[in-house]
Amino acid sequence: MNSENLNEFAERYAKTWCSNNPEAVAAFYAPNASISVNNGAPTPMAEVARNFMRDFPDMIVTFDKLEPREDQTIFHWTLTGTYAGTGNHVQISGYELWKINDAGLITESNGHFDTAEYERQVSGTPAL
């Protein structure tokens, strides 16, 4: 995938996270592909998307930038939304390290974000 196509892919991917349709997010992934979040166990993408969409019904995900690597791409994002469990506003940035196949689908994704900051915002604990 060339850089223009990759940028368009990333833009569509971020917009799809805002759709409240986990299966649409999973459609960016090859069959049997999964995501590992913060070094957790690989999980089907539709399940991860469903959980975030449940927790943040007003979620907005923005595409911040891409960092192409030799055989991978780093997709940087920002999530903004209201956590359904507490009503607290959350804004957290992170990234996914993607492997993309020749068909233009993600075959592997490793997502990362600051868990401590996420938990702080979800719980409403003031910043130090």
| HSE-CB for 88 with a 13 A CA cutoff | 14
CA separation (Å) from 100 to 18, 34, 37, 41, 107? 22, 12, 17, 20, 6
For 35-94, how does the pLDDT look when each residue is reduced to its tens digit (9 = 90+)?
999 999 999 999 999 999 999 999 999 999 999 988 899 999 999 999 999 999 999 999
If you average pLDDT over residues 13-30, what whole number do you get? 97
Distance of alpha carbon 34 from alpha carbon 40, whole angstroms: 11
> Which residues form the domain of 87?
3-123
Q: How many domains does the chain have?
A: 1
Average pLDDT, the chain: 95
pLDDT at residue 29, rounded to an integer: 98
Statement: residue 128 has pLDDT above 80? no
Q: Is position 128 within any domain?
A: no
- Residue the block writes with tokens 């992934």: 29
Structure pTM? Answer: 0.94
pLDDT at residue 85, rounded to an integer: 95
pLDDT at residue 3, rounded to an integer: 86
Task: State the CATH number of the domain containing residue 18.
Answer: 3.10.450.50
The torsion angles phi and psi of 124, rounded to 5 degrees, stand at 85, 15
Q: Is position 24 within any domain?
A: yes
pLDDT at residue 12, rounded to an integer: 98
Statement: residue 127 has pLDDT above 80? no
CA separation (Å) from 1 to 27, 50, 61? 17, 28, 23
